[in-house]
Amino acid sequence: MLKKIIFFSILTLTFCTSCTTKSRRIWHKDHAGPESAEVSHRDYSVTKANAYNDIFLDSTSFEKFVADNIKNDSLSENMRDFYNIRNFEFAWFDSNGLTEQALGFRSLYKYSTDSVNKQLDKKMDELLMHETSIDPKDPSIVKIELQLTKRFVQYTLDTYKEADITDLSFKTFIPIKKQPILSLADSVISDKDNKKYAAINPFYSDLKEQLVKYVAINKKNGWDSIPVTKTKFTQGKDFPEILLIKKRLVVTGELSEPDTTATFSPALESSIKEYQTNQGISPDGKITAALIKSLNVPVLNRIQQLLINMERMRWMPVKKEGKLILVNIPEFMLHITEGSTHVIHMPVVVGKEGHNTTMFSDDLDQIVFSPYWNVPPSIVKAEILPAMNKNRNYLAEKNMEIVSNNGGGIPTIRQLPGANNSLGRVKFLFPNSFNIYFHDTPAKSLFAKDDRAASHGCIRLSDPVKMANYLLENSPEWTPEKIEAAMNSGVEKTVSLKHSVPVIITYYTAWVDENKKINFREDVYGNDRIFATKMFSNAL
């Protein structure tokens, strides 16, 4: 599917280095090579102690790869620059595996180009599913690292061949060194190239505006901590804590005007509801221990969170064409856009901790009505077999059947279509190595909860009927009545879409929504914590 889109311009430096080489231009429309033959000096100040990623390449392995695989002088010189300024620190791996940047770039690349390297993608999938530690000397790991860098450099050369972009921004696009939180924030705010970048990436720009705001709040000593009590706060009555809550909400703007009374007023309740909405808390206007805990998160923590998510924003498409389905895991929401227009917002249930929903992108191309549920072997082993040992009628009660005994190993079990099928009445497929898809569910009560991390990894939809109707709206034969009948038929039926729809599964814990409101969410999988220890020398 042709989707040649220019997403963002690599114009920014957020991770300063001590490299002293002078800046030169490396993007040329004829790819003939740089105006100067100079190559960046290797920056030996990048060490394992201060590096963003904690493993390093052998430069001889790099040179062998270039000699064997790169015939384009501009490409090879840019790759050499890229690693010299990193002191050959890995860009796409750390000692624990593929980094967020690797996953982000892969999603962006899939969405923006027609180029496919199935072998590389398969190897990345295998690493994500099985590897928990990385040997930097492993030839297969080195090959994947350099293949990704080659893809990254070639992508930028092709996409920005007419652009006037300095090489310093390109070479430092992947984080290099840890920095103090406020030092990095100040450099992001003041850097001229960053201002150019923010001007063409509205999502990044919106977060940057919030960064400016929160840095200013920090310079005024942030906000006071509110004591957590068991008090039952009633509207219309006075409570000493109310003064602090009002003062706190004035600082971040939910309460528009200062109020020095201790009364729980209607205006305060309204401002609490706004705050709750933007924190992913049910907006009931009540003052609870959970609300106070959220209000007490220090401003420096919010600055750290903003910087982390600004880095993530680099890998999302800025200009979107056609339909796009985006799932934000910490938000527990699915969003459908058509260009810049928001079409659908839908609550979802994602994988619980230990069964994390993977970040990736692919194309949704099939709908399966009245589906069987082919139970994954891991669930058969961990849950179903123990239940069968306790209850001989377990399979019959769950409307399940054994398809194959697999020679005495873990049997293949499936659940028949029906009202109690774990996939509900319909599933939506975007084929991937992780066996993740969208589906209905009979467990509707989960959608009323704020924390909706409860599945084995697949994504449950709160309104699958709306999704089915939307995806089939250009297929006149699939009327709402026919869709409803297919969902309730009890007979599995697969429908291929006329045009597939891109799906991107992301992980944002801070963003600015279409109403220009800053949103923060809990770090449901601990990804922010990992990101922070790599990114900041004083991580919180």
The mean pLDDT value for 211-226 works out to 97
Give me the pLDDT at residue 26, please. Answer: 44
**CA distances to 287, 436, 502 from 505, in Å:** 33, 10, 10
What are the tens digits of pLDDT across the range 404-440? 988 778 999 999 999 899 999 999 999 999 999 999 9
Ranking 66-80, 232-246, 466-480 by mean pLDDT, the lowest is 66-80
Band the pLDDT of 19: cuts 50, 70, 90. Answer: very low
Instruction: State the residue for tokens 């620059």.
Output: 81
Tell whether the model's pLDDT for residue 505 goes beyond 60: yes
Comparison of pLDDT for 74 and 308, the residue scoring more: 308
Tokens read off for 160: 């920005």
d(C-alpha 283, C-alpha 278), whole Å: 9
Tell whether the model's pLDDT for residue 248 goes beyond 80: yes
Tell whether the model's pLDDT for residue 211 goes beyond 80: yes
Q: List the one residue out of 96, 110, 92, 87 whose CA is nearest residue 147.
A: 92
Tokens read off for 150: 């080659």
Helix or strand holding residue 362 (H, E): strand 361-369
Tokens read off for 338: 């058509």
Band the pLDDT of 317: cuts 50, 70, 90. Answer: confident
Tell whether the model's pLDDT for residue 320 goes beyond 90: no
Give me the pLDDT at residue 30, please. Answer: 42
Percentage of the residues of the chain whose pLDDT score is greater than 90:
77
| In the chain, domain spans | 17-178, 223-297, 319-520
Q: List the one residue out of 325, 412, 429, 457 whose CA is nearest residue 369.
A: 429
Give the torsion sign (CA, 479, 483, 488, 492).
positive
Band the pLDDT of 329: cuts 50, 70, 90. Answer: very high
Give me the pLDDT at residue 328, please. Answer: 98
Give me the pLDDT at residue 170, please. Answer: 66
Q: Where are the alpha helices (DSSP H) in 254-342?
A: 266-277, 289-295, 299-313
Q: List the one residue out of 453, 492, 508, 30 whose CA is nearest residue 307.
A: 508
Q: Which residues touch 156 (CB under 8 Å, ≥6 apart)?
A: 10, 27, 170
Give me the pLDDT at residue 73, please. Answer: 86
The mean pLDDT value for 103-115 works out to 87
According to CATH, what is the number of the domain 223-297?
A: 1.10.101.10
d(C-alpha 276, C-alpha 288), whole Å: 11
Give me the pLDDT at residue 199, please. Answer: 76
Ranking 162-176, 299-313, 320-334 by mean pLDDT, the lowest is 162-176
Grouping H, G, I as helix, E, B as strand and the rest as coil, residue 135 is coil
Give me the pLDDT at residue 164, please. Answer: 55
Q: Which residues touch 142 (CB under 8 Å, ≥6 apart)?
A: 57, 58, 61, 65, 136
Domain covering 319-520: architecture: Beta Barrel (2.40)
The mean pLDDT value for 214-239 works out to 95
Give me the DSSP letters along 214-271.
HHHHHHTT--PPPPP------TTSB-HHHHHHHHHHHHHTSS-S-----B--HHHHHH
Residue type for 409, please?
G
178 neighbors 537 (Cβ within 8 angstroms)? yes
Q: Which residues touch 410 (CB under 8 Å, ≥6 apart)?
A: 377, 380, 381, 385
Grouping H, G, I as helix, E, B as strand and the rest as coil, residue 494 is strand
Query: How far does Cα 340 stand from its chain's mean position?
Result: 19
The mean pLDDT value for 232-237 works out to 94
Q: Tell me the whole-structure pTM to 2 decimals.
A: 0.90
Instruction: State the residue for tokens 């990436």.
Output: 201
458 neighbors 439 (Cβ within 8 angstroms)? yes
Tell whether the model's pLDDT for residue 171 goes beyond 80: no
Q: List the one residue out of 72, 95, 77, 71 whose CA is nearest residue 145.
A: 95
Comparison of pLDDT for 112 and 248, the residue scoring more: 248
Give me the pLDDT at residue 192, please. Answer: 76
Give me the pLDDT at residue 165, please. Answer: 52
Going by the DSSP 8-state scheme, the letter that residue 358 receives in this structure is: P
Helix or strand holding residue 61 (H, E): helix 59-69
